[in-house]
Amino acid sequence: TKSGIVLFGIPGAGKGTYGRLLAKDLGGLKVSPGDLFRDLLRRKEESALSRRIESCVNSGKLVDDHTTFELITACLSENSSAKFLILDGVPRNLSQTTLLSQHLNLSRFILLNIELEESVLMEKLQGRRVCDHCGRNYNICAVHRDGFDMPALMPLNGSECDDCHSPISQRHDDTEPIIRKRIELYREESLPVMGVLEGLGVQRLDFAPKKGLKDYPE
Ligand code: ADP
Ligand code: ZN
């Protein structure tokens, strides 16, 4: 049986960054639907599936559970030897919690809830830049106030990725109206998931980081 960490938190709290760090340091398998969708879209293969995913991701809506779980179960079976999972962005609503509990014994997982105040995450999400080719994250915005110490993460060379020298750009869903929409969806659909997980016997750890982390490439 598998165990692991369910990373939870409002969009922009840093699930992806902590997920990469934990996957690297603990040797776990990161399972991130957001990354799986973006990887698929980066391949630029035209299909009804990719168009459906693209319109949801770009407008800040959740992709339907069926599509999401097809990608997740494919990722799990390609990496079936992984014993320790880092779930970054799933489950995101109550029906996904039920679906996931059919694949995994969630009571063996720890819930890590990352908290970040909304004004800071608005700034950080609008400052995020992503490599068009490999997906590595940068941030042009620094936050140094109210005890926050989050430096910008600039690429070494202008606007190209340190790793693969491709251009970096803003995610379509990192604009203010779409960020507001993602936050609203998080409050309505995702927040109730924590109580359900706790009801399944999952231990919850709340964590409100104030210091920025260097982002880890995959
Ligand atoms: P964030 O947490 O900052 O919103 P993610 O990379 O986790 O960023 O998600 C980006 C987008 O991918 C979401 O807005 C949504 O469209 C889609 N997505 C991610 N996870 C899920 C999920 N579990 N179910 C459905 N859609 C998802
Ligand atoms: Zn790159």
Mutate which of 51, 53, 68, 174 for ligand 1? The one with the most ligand atoms within 8 Å of its CB, which is: 68
Token pair listed for 21 = 């760090």
The confidence score (pLDDT) of residue 218 equals: 56
pLDDT at 60: 95
Q: State if residue 19 touches ligand 1 by the CB under 6 angstroms criterion.
A: no
Distance of CA 138 to the CA centre of its chain: 15
Buried b (16+ CB within 10 A) or exposed e, 175-203: eeebbebbbebbeebbeebbeebeeeebe
Tell me the C-alpha distance between 70 and 209, whole Å. Answer: 33
* pLDDT value for 173: 96
- 8 A C-beta contact, residue 111 and residue 204: yes
Q: Using CA atoms, how far apart are residues 202 and 7, in angstroms rounded to an integer?
A: 12
What is residue 159's predicted lDDT score, i.e. its pLDDT? 87
Dist. CA 173 → ligand 1 center (Å) = 10
pLDDT score at 111:
98
User: In ligand 1, which atom is closest to the CA atom of 9?
Assistant: 2
Query: Of all atoms in ligand 1, which is nearest to the CA of residue 60?
Result: 14
- pTM for this one? 0.94
- Predicted local confidence at residue 215, as pLDDT: 62
Q: For residue 103, report the distance from its CA to the centre of ligand 2, in Å.
A: 33
pLDDT at 156: 94
DSSP letter assigned to residue 64 = P
Please give the helix or strand (H or E) that residue 121 lies within, else none: helix 118-127
| DSSP-assigned states of every residue in 66-92 | HHHHHHHHHHHHHTTT--EEEEES---
Tally of CB atoms within 10 A around 68: 23
Contacts of 22 by beta carbon, 8 Å cutoff, 6+ apart: 5, 7, 28, 30, 86
Any idea which residue has 């996904």 for tokens?
96
- Ligand index nearest the alpha carbon of residue 161: 2
The CB of 174 under 6 Å from ligand 1? The reply is no
* 2-36 core/surface letters (b: 16 or more CB in 10 A; e: else): bebbbbbbbbbbbbbbbbbbbbeeeebbbbbbbbb
pLDDT lower than 70: segments of the chain? 215-218
Residue 60 Cβ < 6 Å to ligand 1 = yes
**Pocket of ligand 1 contains residue 57 by CB under 6 Å:** yes
The residue nearest atom 27 of ligand 1, judged by CA position, is 62
Cα 33 to ligand 1 centroid, rounded to whole Å: 6
Cβ–ligand 1 distance for 89 under 6 Å, the answer yes
203 SS3 class:
strand
The ligand 1 atom at the shortest distance from the C-alpha of residue 90 is 23
Residue 213 pLDDT: 79
How many angstroms separate the alpha carbon of residue 123 from the centre of ligand 2?
A: 23
